[in-house]
């Protein structure tokens, strides 16, 4: 099956999904709950998902339909996007102040940079290596999963240290995690 044969079904999927998302959006914006709009919207979206399986094939049709349904729905929702001006009073009473609103010194900036960067990376590597060394299973699987843990854990360390106001707590936790994870991996070994 060539790629040009999927163009017409793709346009029909996008049109059906867009119409379904528009019906759902209209029903949610109205004060009186019209169940017909909700039912019609979900039926159009379901038809846009099921119909391509017969036309394009089970695997290809569902894949194309899922991609186009989500894209068409996002376009419908984003078409009514407006930017509102923030109220000054609400910005000051925020429960979580922005990191730039915190009082800072040179050593705090340096420590925060070290925690988000190299120290967080070392702690994340320790968690990944400890996973590879301590969890039972095939060696290759443990190594791959341990390697996939490292960037996620490093990102979590970065986000936490940049958002936390108590820099010494972040330092203690990250250094503690690095020491405990590397110690556990060394004691167990990789066998």
CA–CA distance, 172 with 166 (Å, rounded to integer): 10
**DSSP letter (8 states) at residue 164:** -
**Higher-confidence position of 163 and 191:** 163
pLDDT of res. 132: 93
pLDDT of res. 167: 85
**Higher-confidence position of 53 and 181:** 181
CA–CA distance, 158 with 114 (Å, rounded to integer): 10
Cα-Cα-Cα-Cα dihedral sign, residues 147, 152, 155, 157: negative
pTM of the model: 0.49
- In this structure, what token pair is assigned to residue 14? 């996008």
pLDDT of res. 94: 58
CA–CA distance, 183 with 94 (Å, rounded to integer): 41
Q: What is the pLDDT of residues 57-68, one digit of tens each?
A: 877 888 888 888
> Percent of the chain at pLDDT above 90?
29
Q: What is the pLDDT of residues 113-147, one digit of tens each?
A: 899 899 999 999 999 999 999 999 899 999 999 99
What value, to the nearest 5°, has the Cα angle with vertex 27 and ends 82 and 51?
A: 105
CA–CA distance, 120 with 78 (Å, rounded to integer): 36
CA–CA distance, 152 with 163 (Å, rounded to integer): 17
- In this structure, what token pair is assigned to residue 89? 């009073």
Mean pLDDT of the chain: 84
- In this structure, what token pair is assigned to residue 91? 């910005």
């Amino acid at each position: 099956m060539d790629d040009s044969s999927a163009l017409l079904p793709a346009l029909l999927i996008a049109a059906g999904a867009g119409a379904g998302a528009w019906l759902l959006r209209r029903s949610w914006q109205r004060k009186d709950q019209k169940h017909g709009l909700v039912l019609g919207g979900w039926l159009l979206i379901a038809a846009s998902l099921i119909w391509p399986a017969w036309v394009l094939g089970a695997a290809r049709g569902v894949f194309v339909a899922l991609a186009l349904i989500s894209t068409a729905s996002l376009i419908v929702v984003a078409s009514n996007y407006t930017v509102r001006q923030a109220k000054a009073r609400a910005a000051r009473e925020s429960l979580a102040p922005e990191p730039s609103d915190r009082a800072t010194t040179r050593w705090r900036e340096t420590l925060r940079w070290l925690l988000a960067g190299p120290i967080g990376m070392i702690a994340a590597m320790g968690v990944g290596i400890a996973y590879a060394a301590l969890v039972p299973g095939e060696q290759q699987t443990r190594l791959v999963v341990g390697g996939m843990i490292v960037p996620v854990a490093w990102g979590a360390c970065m986000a936490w240290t940049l958002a936390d106001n108590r820099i010494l707590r972040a330092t203690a936790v990250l250094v503690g995690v690095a020491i405990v994870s590397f110690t556990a991996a060394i004691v167990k070994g990789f066998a």
